[in-house]
Amino acid sequence: MSIDLSQFHQVFFEESLEGLDVMESALLNLDTENCDSETINEIFRAAHSIKGGSGTFGFSTVAEFTHVIETLLDQIRAGDRRIEPAHVELFLKSVDCIRQMIKSLEAGDAVEMSDANDLKSKFQAILDGKELAAAAPVPASTAPTAPASVSDTDAGSSGGAKTWHIYFKPDGDVLKTGNEPSRMFRELEDMGVATVVVDTADLPGIGVIDPETCYLKWNITLVADVEKAQIEEVFEWVIDEAELRIEEVAQVAVTENPEQNGAKPSSVKQSKVEPSDIVQTTVQSPVAEVSVSPAPSQAISAPAAKEPAAQAAPAAKKAEKNKTEVSSIRVGIDKVDSLINMVGELVITQSMLGELSRDFDISKLPKLLEGLEQLSQNTRELQESVMRIRMLPISFTFSRFPRLVHDLSKTMGKKIELKLLGEQTELDKTVMEKIGDPMVHLVRNSLDHGIEMPEDRIKAGKSDTGLITLNAYHQGGNIVIQIIDDGKGLDKEKILRKAVEKGLVGESDKLSDEQICDLIFKPGFSTADQVTDISGRGVGMDVVRRNIQELNGSVEVESFTGKGSTFTIRLPLTLAILDGQLVSAGEHTYILPLISIIESIQTNMDMVHRVAGGCDVLRLRSEYVPIIRLYDIFNIKPESYNLEESLLVVVEGDNMKVALVVDDLLAQQQVVIKSLEENYKRVEGVSGATILGDGTVALILDISGLIKLAGVRKDEYKKVKQGGDEAA
Amino acid sequence: MSRKVLVVDDSASIRQMLEFTLKRASFDVDSAPEPTSALTMADRATYDLVITDVNMPGMDGYAFVEQMRKKSSYRFTPILMLTTESSQDQKVKGKQAGATGWLVKPFNPEQLVATIEKVLNR
């Protein structure tokens, strides 16, 4: 039976990466002055699991490296050594290093060992420093060292059969640990010829006997081609709770003179055929010390051999690996339980409806309606439960920030405390994956531009330590993520000056504070005096906003000079379902994302102005909003071409407002998004499609795409706006 | 009747590996990611053998074995501990808690099955 261990690799990689995250955050929380033993334990456990797993699955490089870390952690855990800040830094670097190793292994690439070796020697130096290094060279022996063990076996078998006398007297309690002496005797029988004689001398009278206590002792004669250590191995689990004497009776091989050892004559025949048996049994009988037992098994040598192979042909390996890579999520059992529960209810409702339909007459209508109501409730709950499966707490994303802040504040010489709130707020996995990068950018931005240097903070009458808070909460079907800093706030004058310089706003434009702050999200806008390593990576806030908008979300900033800024990201909880507003245009039904709708109005022609370029704008209080006629864009025939008979839905997308002309507003409902790209092809102005209750397909409109299609781009919009001003 | 084994390990990969290996060797296998649920599972079914990790969050392997031994139906059931290296300290603690023996990580599946077969008197 050979088992392909590679099928467990993916799980191992995932749990190791999770373990590393745990290690990292525990390390960052560690107060070296006042060390909490549970935190150390947590770090130790994570390292320990990675080591155990990597050893088992044949990743000896990881196992060896982790072992050194574990040794030091174990000493700290045992109180033999104090943890110092330098250790923490070293451990953090090791976390990075192991993470890199795991990722390389996962991708099938060669494992880069230079960092690991470097760190290993540093750890070794620490360990050696207190002469506690004895445990350190162990990795070599814990790693599967089949060849060495095999030679042991060879040495043993070349000596021929020996006769051993074994005296075994276990403690009375031996049975209470589940150890059966008969098992050990059977193992001895597997090695050769064993004669077991029981000594019942200590057995008390039947009246006082305790059936759970072992009163027996044994004298065993074993004729086998084994070394003393192999016999000891059989008794390994009980060696400390027993009186055990193993003596070699004679060096002479049994085959030559069997009687001499008191072995029964019949054993002669058996011992002749033994050499092959012995080879077999030694292979199979690792007893307990599995790691050092002589088992040239395929399973463990195969993965071990894979690593050098991977180094030789990383590309080929990678190609092979990519095929098998599956991303998975772990789901709490309570979520699965509730799902099963839901399905159960659904089945009940279904059978009830089935029953009704069998001989249906009009008198049963109320019952039918009740059943259908039940069905729709079940469906809704089922949908929610299924969605919940994909939901993960945002702590998965938040968890990378403590390290980021720790490292960056060090490089910048700033003192920063990071506070995480609402870590348990749940979010769809796909959204989570995509929000990470924009968040990193915003946090870097706050660190770099928001929080001041300690001396400047003190001058400003603040504590020298800046505070960055990440906050997440649910609000009306959306998740809100805030990045709050208590730094200097946005320099509004500078922003305005820059915007004028870049022609983003006219010099005479009067903008509210809010509008000024919003300018930082415009393409091509950057006020950094100096492009720093931290946030000036050529990715502007406009990209951040665009990425968030692609997720059907929004981002805005609020800032108070001297007090700090708050970036607020709003995202739908899932990408699979959209809160939609159904609208009709002609015979067609379209869906607008509810989040993008600002208001819907019936207009009269006084509010509509035509400006240069043939574009109509709607005067909406103090603003002018371009009007986009859906029927023009999709080339359909509306119910009415008269704006006064139509409805205008004011929506926002791509940083601008537009008014869409539709015939009517229909229902608001959650729709399941089906990708148009996957099923048909990409269509400008449409972000997807869905199937409505009556089976028809409705297109989900993409506001920014529509704006592009309609040709009311920002530059034109500006013209429109200026024109509008004149018109007003 | 196939024999039932209970596996307790917080590492999913090791747990899956043990489960897979033992099932292939025609054992009936249940597994638990942590000792508390394993203790409940042990009451609901009768296992012929228990394999447990040592380092686990919450309750460690030693405490788990102690708790298991307090159950009348598990007083003599073989309980094996998964340890890393042959740390004498771990073994002694395991024995004191009432463990039958130990399996040292890293182990390979074949050896594991061979050891378990032996413990279960095949």
CA A610 to CA A308: how far, in whole Å?
Answer: 73
Which residue from B minimizes the CA distance to A135?
B87
Chain A 209-248, residues with CB within 8 Å of chain B CB atoms: 212, 236-237, 240-241
Domain ranges in chain B are 4-121
The single residue of A9, A24, A42, A48 carrying the catalytic annotation is A48
In B9-78, the DSSP E strands lie at 28-32, 49-53
Question: What is A267-336 written as a DSSP string?
Answer: HHHHHHTHHHHHHHHHHH---S-GGGS----HHHHHHHHHHHHHHH-HHHHHHHHHHH--------HHHH
Say what the pLDDT of residue A669 is.
85
Q: Residue B26: how many CB atoms within 10 A of its CB?
A: 9
Tokens of A60: 């000896």
A623 noted as active-site residue: no
Question: What is A523-586 written as a DSSP string?
Answer: TT----SS--TTT-SS--HHHHHHHHHHTT-EEEEEEETTTEEEEEEEEES-SSEEEEEEEEET
CA A431 to CA A571: how far, in whole Å?
Answer: 8
Report the residue from A15, A183, A287 with minimal CB separation from B12: A15
Question: What residues in A contact B22, CB-CB < 8 Å?
Answer: none
Q: What is the dihedral of CA A340, A343, A348, A350, to 10 degrees?
A: -170
B20–A3 C-beta distance less than 8 A: yes
Alpha helices, DSSP H only, in A596-670?
630-633
CA A96 to CA A28: how far, in whole Å?
Answer: 13
A297–B108 C-beta distance less than 8 A: yes
> In terms of DSSP bridges, do strands A647-653 and A597-601 run parallel, antiparallel, or are they unpaired?
antiparallel
Which residue from B minimizes the CA distance to A53?
B14
Which residue from B minimizes the CA distance to A295?
B111
Å between A569 CA and nearest CA of chain B: 35
Could you tell me if A238 and B78 are in contact, meaning their C-beta atoms sit under 8 angstroms apart? no
Say what the pLDDT of residue A648 is.
93
Chain A 295-314, residues with CB within 8 Å of chain B CB atoms: 295, 297, 299-300
CATH 3.40.50.2300 fits B4-121, yes or no: yes
Question: What residues in B contact A212, CB-CB < 8 Å?
Answer: 75-76
The residues with which B29 forms a beta bridge, in sequence order, are B5
Tokens of A288: 């307990």
Report the residue from A15, A143, A299 with minimal CB separation from B13: A15
Tokens of A58: 């044949």
Say what the pLDDT of residue A530 is.
45
Instruction: Give the contacts of A189 (CB within 8 A, at least 6 positions apart).
Output: none
Mean pLDDT by 10 residues, chain A (728 residues): 76 89 86 79 87 85 87 84 84 90 86 84 79 39 38 44 86 83 84 85 81 86 85 83 83 44 41 39 37 38 40 43 56 83 88 87 88 87 81 85 87 89 86 87 88 91 92 81 91 85 79 84 64 50 84 87 91 78 92 89 86 82 88 88 90 82 90 79 84 86 84 50 44
Closest to A581 in 3D by CA, of A562, A570, A594: A594
The single residue of A67, A274, A441, A445 carrying the catalytic annotation is A445
B118–A186 C-beta distance less than 8 A: yes
Å between A276 CA and nearest CA of chain B: 18
Find where tokens 């191995």 sit.
Answer: A233
Question: What residues in A contact B118, CB-CB < 8 Å?
Answer: 183, 186-187, 285, 287
Question: What residues in A contact B98, CB-CB < 8 Å?
Answer: 176-178
Say what the pLDDT of residue A633 is.
87
A501 noted as active-site residue: no
pTM of the model: 0.51
Testing the interface with B: which of A70, A176, A233, A291 to mutate, by most B Cβ within 10 A?
A291
A290–B108 C-beta distance less than 8 A: yes
Report the residue from A45, A295, A330 with minimal CB separation from B55: A45
CA A542 to CA A548: how far, in whole Å?
Answer: 10
Tokens of A9: 């690799």
The residues with which A669 forms a beta bridge, in sequence order, are A580
Which residue from A minimizes the CA distance to B119?
A183
Question: What is A431-464 written as a DSSP string?
Answer: HHHHHHHHHHHHHHHIIIIISPPHHHHHHTTS-S
User: Is A286 part of the contact surface with chain B (CB cutoff 8 Å)?
Assistant: yes
CA A116 to CA A122: how far, in whole Å?
Answer: 10
CA A47 to CA A40: how far, in whole Å?
Answer: 11
Helix (H) or strand (E) holding A231: helix A228-234
Say what the pLDDT of residue A227 is.
85
Report the residue from A52, A177, A330 with minimal CB separation from B105: A52
The residues with which A131 forms a beta bridge, in sequence order, are none
Helix (H) or strand (E) holding A44: helix A37-56
Helix (H) or strand (E) holding A713: none
A48 noted as active-site residue: yes
Is A209 exposed, middle or buried, given 0-12, 13-18 or 19+ CB atoms closer than 10 A? exposed
B101–A56 C-beta distance less than 8 A: no
Question: What residues in B contact A142, CB-CB < 8 Å?
Answer: 84-85, 106
Three-state DSSP state, A247: strand
First vs last Cα of chain B: how many Å apart?
A: 13
User: Is A56 part of the contact surface with chain B (CB cutoff 8 Å)?
Assistant: yes
Chain A 104-163, residues with CB within 8 Å of chain B CB atoms: 138, 142-144
In chain B, which stretches have pLDDT less than 70? Answer: 1, 85-87, 122
B86–A52 C-beta distance less than 8 A: no
Say what the pLDDT of residue A113 is.
82
Say what the pLDDT of residue A528 is.
53
Say what the pLDDT of residue A71 is.
86
Testing the interface with A: which of B50, B111, B115, B119 to mutate, by most A Cβ within 10 A?
B111
Q: Chains A, B: CB contacts under 8 A, how many?
A: 153
B92–A52 C-beta distance less than 8 A: no
Classify the complex by whether its ipTM is higher than 0.85, answering yes or no: no
CA A113 to CA A84: how far, in whole Å?
Answer: 25
Q: Report which residue type is found at A50.
A: I
Backbone phi and psi for residue A508, each to the nearest 5 degrees, phi listed first: -85, -5
